Structure 1
Amino acid sequence: MTLNHSPETQTKIIARVPTITGRALPEWFRTIDNGPAFLRCDERANWLADEHGLTHGYAVAIVLEHERRRRGRHF
């Protein structure tokens, strides 16, 4: 599984997250922070998809955005 989207694709997916999922990004980030302590991003994405009914693409995008913001990197 790849966790890398093009910057353009990532931006488009992230912009649609609240509409598609019904939850804003900060809510998803808190869910990740309060979830299991996975070491790998793909494990977090799989957990989000399985536990919260997200499609794989949205789960990956949310995890990737969470990591980027946590590390202070933005597109």
Structure 2
Amino acid sequence: MSKEERIKLFRICSSCSKEFEATIEPVLVEATRGLLTGSISTFQDCPFCKERNDIWIRIVIEENVE
């Protein structure tokens, strides 16, 4: 049996709470920085509410056993 893991990354706006997919490279940099500072978020424009807000990162690890 082999175990397969899939990682899905999402960004969540702190204002409108909408979620959108994130690309892995910038999120890994932000997550690493967040582990050092204690906060995994960025301050950027939300594509939904068009406001500059804290954007949180949600990491989902799906495990499938084959």
TM-score by length of 2: 0.37
Higher relative contact order (CA 8 A, sep 6+): 2
Higher percent of residues as helix: 1
Higher percent of residues as strand: 2
